[in-house]
Structure 1
Amino acid sequence: MEPLKEMFNRAFYQHFAGVFADADRNFNTAEFLEDVTVKLDELELNGRLRNTSVTLRKYLPDNFEKAVDILYKAAPALRRGYTALVLPDFIALYGKEHFDLSMEALKDFTSLGSSEFAIREFLKTDLDKTLKVMSYWAEHPDEHVRRLASEGARPRLPWSFKLEQIIKDPSLTTGILERLKADEAPYVRKSVANHLNDISKDNASYMLQLVKAWDTDNVHTRWIIKHASRTLIKKGDQDSLSLFDFEKDVKLSIDNFSISSHHVQLGEELQVNFEVKSLKDTPQKLVIDYAIHYVKASGEHSRKVFKLKEINLLPDQTVAVSKRQIFKDMTTRKHYAGKHIIEIIINGKDYGSKEFNLVTQQI
């Protein structure tokens, strides 16, 4: 599989330079191409993104307003997706002294890729002023802009720095979340849920108090709350379990727990089987998860919890559960050889584990 950094390859830059040459007759295509690719092989994905923004600044007018005007002219012809983050990244780097123009540009460019990382630079510089703008965005007709209001202000946005002020005081973004709590767009709802899940990691009681006041009869709101509660539910938090009527006083047994092999080659699957047997004379609403304790480069273990299924276990009922887990390297996870552990979790409680050895080299 081609590395993600190859999104910014020489073919990309040929197209990119051509777009800007069309937008600005003074754009020096040859010099830009030579400059932007001189150390290309040394840079990873985010390094290539940032290098593109920094190099582009050298070939656009010194006047920021004129430079932004060229960005607008180029934008429609650029490829959408991650590489389009060059536009908001440019604004984040050079637009701090042009707040109103920068806010407008980030709003307009977010539909090409996303301005979620760029807006955080402004939140870091002037939190109150930027959040005020984002509160207006939460009512924008474009779902990409509404999502930006939530996603950009997440306390713990992956691939970005933490917003420590919001972690300390999560009420700062409550107005945004209130406006989006029943949004029609799944794209927006997922962001709101992730934002709330971020809050739950540092301020669980605040997050639960907030969502308990929301109308769970609304299907969109209910989905947001449930998805937002996933970390707390996996931990067995009683307040979050009660929100969705999951059984607090679980009484069951796990029988015939087995794994297909105790030695797994990288690229292979592990088959997991077990039975859940009721030991209670009333129905039990259960959320069944499993966790894998992955070996890290240091040799220590890192526990990752995965959702498996939800069931309503009736009295005397036994339910068979199976899962296939494949082990292969991805951009988000590299596997290391050694002893791994898989455990069964029901309503946040551990119900047994098995060990297996992962082999990462061909035998």
Structure 2
Amino acid sequence: MAEPLKNLLHPGLVKEMATHISRAAPDFDGGRFTGLATAGMDALELMQRADRIRQALAQTLPADYPAAADILRRALPAEGRPGLSGWALLPVNQFVSEYGLTHFDLSLALLKALTPHFTAEFGIRRFIHADEDRALAEISGWVTDPNHHVRRLASEGTRPRLPWAMRLPGLVRNPHPILPILVALLDDPEDYVRRSVANSLNDIAKDHPALVADFVERHIDDASPARRQLLRHASRTLLKRGNAKALANFGFAAARGIEATLAVSTPVVVFGDKLGFSIDVTNGDTAPQRLMIDYAIHHVKANGTLAPKVFKWKQLDLPAGARQTIIRDHAIRAITTRVYYPGTHRIEVLINGTISASADFDLRME
């Protein structure tokens, strides 16, 4: 069984934090900090543990925020010397976010300094929420930073719907202020940064589909393979929803004369096994067609209703009159992002965004 996520923050890590902070500030009470941070830790989940450590920092660092921020900055790794890094910086993000708003520029500079050693995407969001114009004016300058972690922070930290983090309602309503940041990073040399840009655009597409479809159309002509991959990933929600403009951006049109027959080879699936299915696709049109074939599984929820989740499957060019069979196995096993319930589930096949075939299967939790 996988290690629980909460154990990313553990007593040993807290002791390491105390060591690094004590090096930066010899009068820091590392023993008291460790005791406060680890009290009752076993019963806490990941973000609760981070908040407990954040509280311990507040109780043991100087009450003067600039002095505390200076200690934390000096406790970061430097010139081959170890320091605060990795998951130890999650509660530091929280500390800066909680206590640093009245020292806006100092706090943003600290978050920029720590992001190469973990990420500051969680910490900067309260600053964007508090004063969007002021925060984005600073963050926009990071798109040319020589450190790719800082450049990624410019796109990842401004995502309107960043998972695990506070939502940015202003940017959910109006994402236009962050579009120049995303444009500047479209051709970043680091895939790590480009994936962040794609994820931000995909966030925006959930609330403003036409905006993102138009954005992709403007930037796809003569695009490099890397940029094209970014724009395709940015369009994934739109493509799964069958957005006509998004489909057209990648050469897909509404399917014409397509016949699809779905067969489920495992009508009863025991949890932990695989759902097996296949589809026969025939192009009954007089012209070849480019097809994007996905499938959606409608999972049973706790209240007995069904909730769909779309999965990517296959892209193919099917000549006029041609027929092709495609086979797939889909694992039904424990994952951290879904709770499975027994009962009748449904599978649907989508061709160019349109439901073309469906069937049911039963899941047993044995």
- Residue 326 (structure 1) aligns with: 331
- Where 1:261 maps in the other structure, the secondary structure is coil
Q: Which one of the candidate residues 345, 349, 356 is aligned to 2:350?
A: 345
- Residue 112 (structure 2) aligns with: 107
- Residue 228 (structure 2) aligns with: 222
Structure 2, unaligned runs of 5 or more = none
- Residue 147 (structure 1) aligns with: 152
Moved over 4 A (4+): none
- Residue 203 (structure 2) aligns with: 198
1:115 is matched by which residue type in structure 2? A
Deviation at 1:278, TM superposition (A): 1.3
Q: Which one of the candidate residues 272, 278, 285 is aligned to 1:280?
A: 285
> Structure 1 length as normaliser, TM-score?
0.94
Please tell me whether the aligned partners of residues 129 and 170 of structure 2 are also in contact (alpha carbons under 8 angstroms).
no
- Residue 169 (structure 2) aligns with: 164
Deviation at 1:344, TM superposition (A): 0.7
Please tell me whether the aligned partners of residues 204 and 212 of structure 2 are also in contact (alpha carbons under 8 angstroms).
yes
- Determine the C-alpha separation between the residues in 1 that align with 2:155 and 2:321: 45
1:266 aligns with 2:271: yes
- Determine the C-alpha separation between the residues in 2 that align with 1:291 and 1:327: 14
Please tell me whether the aligned partners of residues 87 and 109 of structure 1 are also in contact (alpha carbons under 8 angstroms).
no
Deviation at 1:120, TM superposition (A): 0.8
- Residue 30 (structure 2) aligns with: 29
- Determine the C-alpha separation between the residues in 2 that align with 1:78 and 1:271: 50
Aligned pair in 2 of structure 1 residues 330, 194: CA closer, same or farther (>3 Å)? same
Task: Give matches, 1:1-363, under 5 Å.
Answer: 1-76=2-77, 77-78=82-83, 80-219=85-224, 220-255=226-261, 257-360=262-365, 362=366
Deviation at 1:140, TM superposition (A): 1.5
- Determine the C-alpha separation between the residues in 1 that align with 2:115 and 2:199: 18
Aligned pair in 2 of structure 1 residues 303, 82: CA closer, same or farther (>3 Å)? farther
Deviation at 1:215, TM superposition (A): 4.7
* Structure 1 residues 4-39: Cα deviation after superposition (integer angstroms, max 9, x where no partner): 001112222232222223332122222222211212
Structure 1, unaligned runs of 5 or more = none
Instruction: Report how many residues are paired.
Output: 360
Greater displacement, 280-289 / 258-267: 258-267
- Determine the C-alpha separation between the residues in 2 that align with 1:353 and 1:78: 55
- Where 1:98 maps in the other structure, the secondary structure is helix
Deviation at 1:249, TM superposition (A): 3.8
Please tell me whether the aligned partners of residues 338 and 357 of structure 1 are also in contact (alpha carbons under 8 angstroms).
yes
* Structure 1 residues 74-115: Cα deviation after superposition (integer angstroms, max 9, x where no partner): 222347444432222221111111111111111111122211
- Determine the C-alpha separation between the residues in 1 that align with 2:221 and 2:60: 53
1:192 is matched by which residue type in structure 2? V
Please tell me whether the aligned partners of residues 88 and 118 of structure 1 are also in contact (alpha carbons under 8 angstroms).
yes
* Structure 1 residues 341-360: Cα deviation after superposition (integer angstroms, max 9, x where no partner): 11111111111122122222
- Determine the C-alpha separation between the residues in 2 that align with 1:265 and 1:17: 48
Please tell me whether the aligned partners of residues 36 and 53 of structure 2 are also in contact (alpha carbons under 8 angstroms).
no
- Determine the C-alpha separation between the residues in 2 that align with 1:95 and 1:115: 14
- Determine the C-alpha separation between the residues in 2 that align with 1:269 and 1:79: 43
> Structure 2 length as normaliser, TM-score?
0.93
Please tell me whether the aligned partners of residues 88 and 105 of structure 1 are also in contact (alpha carbons under 8 angstroms).
no
Q: Report sequence identity in percent.
A: 37
Deviation at 1:242, TM superposition (A): 0.8
Deviation at 1:258, TM superposition (A): 2.0
